[in-house]
Amino acid sequence: MTRGRRSGRPHTVTLWSAYDDGVLWLRGDADADWYRNLSADPNCRIRVDGMEVAGFREEVVDEAAALRRLVELWRAKYGAEWVGDWYVERGRIPVRVRVMLTH
């Protein structure tokens, strides 16, 4: 869940994701509301299997390498037949969200 960059209201979407060592990887699209909201405010909430945790969008230094990693994780999770090479095309934005787990 992100917070609307103009309205301030909660904005919830369902997205493909992959978890890797404390990081939730997403693929953004510059026109998507959730992506623009997360760009304006890097704080978010993540809900998985009824559990909700805080997240924080981290900067991606090497977008090409991050996108390749994201696609690799997605292929392992969803299957190569569902995750084609077009996920690596220009305009695809890797989004790295640090999951803030509390004990």
Give the structural domain span for 65.
Answer: 2-100
- Per-residue pLDDT tens digits for 75-102: 899 888 777 665 666 567 899 999 987 6
In the chain, the number of structural domains is 1
Determine the Cα angle at 79 with ends 23 and 21, to 5°. 15
Query: pTM of the predicted model, to two decimals?
Result: 0.85
- Per-residue pLDDT tens digits for 55-69: 999 999 998 899 889
The CATH number of the domain holding residue 11 is 2.30.110.10
What sign has the CA pseudo-torsion 1, 58, 86, 30? Answer: positive
Q: Give the burial class of 44: count Cβ atoms within 10 A of its Cβ; 0-12 exposed, 13-18 middle, 19 or more buried.
A: buried
